[in-house]
Amino acid sequence: MRIVLNNAMDFLPEHTFECGQCFRWNKEKDGSFTGVAKGRAVNLSYDGRNIIIDGADNKDETFWRAYLDLTRDYGKIKESISSTSVMREALNFGYGIRILKQEFFETLISFIISQRSSIPKIKSCIEKMCREYGKEIEYKGKIYYSFPSTEELKEAKESDFEKFGVGYRAKYLERAVKDVLEGKINEEELLSLSTKEARAKLLEMYGVGNKVADCVLLFGLSRFDSFPVDVWVDRAMKEFFNGGDGITLFGENSGFAQQYLFYYKRSIG
């Protein structure tokens, strides 16, 4: 069972999966990546032209194309944000990054966990949570776990989340699950709102500030006119753009610019 997506350009698994936007893809010895999305564990490899998604169902081809953002012309986007030499450097360095279209609830929970933490630590917390509350998925003789649904996390209390090492964020997580279950936060509604309105709605949540809201908008709701500012992007903006504002500089393609900048600045320090 596999899907082959032909002629995929402007794509590199390593940069897409290791640029800090996702936490559930891991590199194999052969350079391919194994990850869990849509409740399925798959292995993705790329030969420079074609993407092979082993373990994926044929009927999910549309999902994977959307997930990998393959229908978007990155050449055009990169051109629109390459006005400075630093940006050209960042775009060259992060060649092949595509902004994944991740599931809303997973993105929300993951980025609440992410606040003031490090990527390896975030991955470890999420993995423990999936193991405890997600569904078992067998792939190539190994057991993986789906990201838990709101229903699966329904009974999880602050003390349950604490077991995964999320620390003081546990109380935020309990409340977030409740907000989604009660419909206080609703994906359909957020999608119907403008980016600014959806952002305001997310900011009403306990434990969700500007940075987390912007990550949810960008990675979970495909709002590319958002510009999450973490410590690295903050440094990059001060150092390379005199502290200028990302949205003002990059407009509707801010999200892409931000991702290339984040990955670039984090690597050079």
Taking CB under 7 A as the criterion, the residue among 3, 5, 8, 19 binding DNA is: 19
Give every CB contact of residue 221 below 8 A, 6+ residues apart in sequence: 104, 107, 187, 190, 191, 198
231 in contact with DNA (CB under 7 A)? yes
Could you give the angle at the alpha carbon of 127 between the alpha carbons of 202 and 215, nearest 5°? 25
Instruction: Please give the backbone phi and psi of residue 136, each rounded to the nearest 5 degrees, phi first.
Output: -70, 140
Give every CB contact of residue 226 below 8 A, 6+ residues apart in sequence: 195, 199, 214, 217, 218, 247, 254, 255, 258
Taking CB under 7 A as the criterion, the residue among 182, 209, 239, 244 binding DNA is: 209
Query: Per CB under 7 A, which region of 62-70, 84-92, 130-138, 255-263 contacts DNA?
Result: 255-263
Residues 100-119, interacting with DNA (CB under 7 A): 111, 114-119
Taking CB under 7 A as the criterion, the residue among 17, 25, 46, 232 binding DNA is: 232
16 in contact with DNA (CB under 7 A)? no
Question: Binding string to DNA for residues 151 to 190, with x set by CB under 7 A, is what?
Answer: --------------x-xx---x------------------
Q: Where are the beta strands (DSSP E) in the chain?
A: 2-5, 25-27, 33-37, 40-46, 51-54, 136-139, 142-145
121 in contact with DNA (CB under 7 A)? yes
Taking CB under 7 A as the criterion, the residue among 69, 103, 179, 230 binding DNA is: 230
Taking CB under 7 A as the criterion, the residue among 48, 120, 141, 183 binding DNA is: 120
Q: Closer to DNA at the Cβ: 40 or 174? A: 174
Q: Give the residue ranges of DSSP H helices in 117-253.
A: 119-133, 158-162, 170-181, 187-192, 195-203, 210-215, 231-241, 246-250
* Binding footprint of DNA, residue count (CB under 7 A): 37
Q: Closer to DNA at the Cβ: 20 or 251? A: 20
34 in contact with DNA (CB under 7 A)? no
Q: What is each CA distance from 178 to 73, 112, 152, 200, 213, in whole angstroms?
A: 38, 14, 12, 18, 17
Binding site for DNA (CB under 7 A): 19-21, 111, 114-122, 124, 165, 167-168, 172, 205-213, 215, 228, 230-233, 258-259, 262, 266
